[in-house]
Amino acid sequence: MSCNRRDFMRGGLGGAAAAAACATLGASPAEARENKKVPGNAIGLLYDSTLCIGCKACMSACKTTNELPLDDNVGGKLWDTPFELSGKTYTVIKVYQDGTSVNKDQVKDGFAHIKRQCLHCIDPSCVSVCPVKAMTKNPETGIVSYNADACIGCRYCVAACPFHVPQFQYDTPFPRIAKCQLCKEELAKGDIPACAKVCPTGATLFGSYNALSKEIERRKDMKPGEANVFPRRTVDSGDTYERAAAHYTEEVYGAKALGGTQVRYLAGVPFDKFDLPVGLPERSYASQSESMQEALYSGLTVPAAAFAGLMLAAYFGTKNLHDDEEG
């Protein structure tokens, strides 16, 4: 008797369960989601490496505004000396150097500055991977924010960020994730991000995403060496000065890679010289990862179907075993 039932099982339900399992694993990428789009009132920063003089006023203002401690890495307790972003540092000015380091914004025997900070991705990996919505992207401004009250400290955002921005605090029993949130408290007060506010040359410029896009176009059209007007603080602050335009590389960092970012860079040397990842695909990793999860778990239909099949198989499977045991 159990023989028949078992044969039925193997042919029928086992097959159904297997089919469900195959459906689970071979789910088509047809419902793949696309990259997210720039929010309606997106704001951002433009960092122009050719205007940066490396004064680090932005770093200092960032620490003051965000109440961050000093990050002394050279000892002697002399200055705030972060080498990279850290649990104590939201932004850092770094410098590329080659040979004699005398020619600004040139690769050979030259040097060039770069500002590291959160780029506020249009389709951020950190927001996508966070299991508890501690990382969120404002649907209006596009600011990528961190909420420590929600965070469980799994550090998936740290591991997944393609630009190595979120920084976990390893030196405290009550750690948080440290990252730039575009001075959202200052913005709420009608002010602008501290780094843009204090930048003496307008190398860090605040503005709407669209206004900054136009400004990027304007600068790319400038003839190197020709006098041009450059704004400070914000694109339309009226606080401008004149100087000779530099030579810009073709790439605008953050324009397209992985769906683009709301903080973008212009520079006179290629971006790989700054140890930034280059040559990235245009499709965001967030969209790839989420498409996979959606295909498998959307509405829990696939797991539910698989569960029904498995439960039915287990029902007959255990019944057979009990029958055998008693028989």
User: Footprint of other proteins on residues 240-269 (CB under 8 A)?
Assistant: 258
By CB under 8 A, name the one of 53, 70, 255, 311 that touches other proteins: 311
79 binds other proteins (CB under 8 A): no
Q: Cβ-count burial of 14 within 10 angstroms (0-12 exposed, 13-18 middle, 19+ buried)?
A: middle
Check: CB of residue 112 under 8 Å from CB of residue 268.
yes
Nearer to other proteins, 236 or 323 (CB): 323
Q: Show the tokens assigned to 271.
A: 């971006």
Question: Contact region for other proteins (CB under 8 A) — 73-81, 185-193, 246-254, 274-282?
Answer: 274-282
Q: Which residues, numbered 180-209, are part of the site for other proteins (CB under 8 A)?
A: none
Residue with Cβ nearer other proteins (266 or 313): 313
By CB under 8 A, the residues from 15 to 74 that bind other proteins are: 17, 21, 24-25
Q: Single out the residue of 241, 251, 243, 271 nearest to residue 105, CA to CA.
A: 271
Closer of 94 and 104 to other proteins (Cβ): 94
Of 68 and 286, the one with the shorter C-beta distance to other proteins is: 286
Q: How many helices and strands in the chain, by DSSP H and E?
A: 10, 12
Comparison of 240 and 293: residue with beta carbon closer to other proteins: 293
Cβ proximity to other proteins: between 10 and 247 the closer is 10
Query: How many residues are listed for the chain in this entry?
Result: 327
> Sign of the C-alpha dihedral, residues 174, 175, 180, 182?
negative
Task: Find the binding residues for other proteins in span 98-117 (CB under 8 A).
Answer: none
Q: Which of 67, 78, 139, 172 binds other proteins (CB under 8 A)?
A: 172
The one segment of 64-72, 185-193, 224-232, 299-307 that binds other proteins by CB under 8 A: 299-307
CB of 294 to other proteins, least distance (A): 7
Q: What region does 209 belong to: left with phi over 0, alpha with psi -120 to 50, or beta?
A: alpha
- DSSP for 185-218, written as a single string: HHHHTT---HHHHH-SSSSEEEEEHHHHHHHHHH
* Calpha distance 218→237 (Å, rounded): 16
Instruction: Decide: is 118 part of the binding site for other proteins (CB under 8 A).
Output: no
